[in-house]
Amino acid sequence: MKSLAAIALAATAGVSLFFAAPAVEAGNYERVPAARLDIANDATVETAVFAGGCFWGVEAVFERVKGVKSAVSGFAGGHVINPSYRQVTRGGTGHAEAVRVIFDPRVVSYAELLQVYFSVIADPTQLNRQGPDVGEHYRTAFFPMNKAQDKVARAYIRQLGAAGIYNKPIVTRIEKYRGFHNAENYHQDFMVKNPNHPYIVQHDAPKVRALVRLFPAKVS
């Protein structure tokens, strides 16, 4: 399997790539229970940062959720300021591929975004990887922007763990927010611009189909 860095660079050069990995079927996704703790926010805008493997799919799902104003691919959790995609995928920066989501909490709450995340976006039992993508920069993690988000995220992870939703422990990390750095322009809206890209077809399009199937009332 080629690295995601090679995939992205090849895509920008117009190179065709083929994958031996099997396609992910949307039927494998299941809607997890809603969070019992959901703290209301009367503000018109809230920001959240999520890491869930390759940011192409994370962005593609969240930007289709009703109430989300924008979803931007980038990097969070590391110690290098304004890292490049190449730096992050080579390792050593501490960053994870992440997505900054700006949303209207009166329409969709942080807890509801977490439900979408655990149902559709990521497998929280995979340590430092998601599917074919391996490395610390593909870890699953949340970067709470305030005490309420931190409280909701921790409570929800405990809830899902205690309910035995998964057959392995949840390893999703809750990390201190240290800033967010936008990825290069060609990563933004990658699925919209490249719907037939092999990686998108196999690994990200099924997530969007699952969102529509599991959360029809939340799709914009």
Per-residue pLDDT of the chain (220 residues; tens, 9 = 90+): 234 333 443 333 333 222 223 233 334 799 999 999 999 999 999 999 999 999 999 999 999 999 999 999 999 999 999 999 999 999 999 999 999 999 999 999 999 999 999 999 999 999 999 989 999 999 999 999 999 999 999 999 999 999 999 989 999 999 999 999 999 999 999 999 999 999 999 999 999 999 999 999 999 8
Looking at 48, 54, 121, 157, which residue is catalytic?
A: 54
**Is residue 87 one of the residues assigned to a domain?**
yes
**Residue 56: CATH number of its domain:** 3.30.1060.10
Number of separate domains in the chain: 1
The whole domain housing 171 covers: 4-215
Phi, psi of 2 (to 5 degrees): -70, 150
Is residue 220 in a domain?
A: no
**11, two tokens:** 């895509």
199 is catalytic: no
Q: How many Å apart are CA 108 and CA 110, to the nearest integer?
A: 7
Q: Which residues contact 90 (CB under 8 A, 6 or more apart)?
A: 5
pTM for the whole thing?
0.87
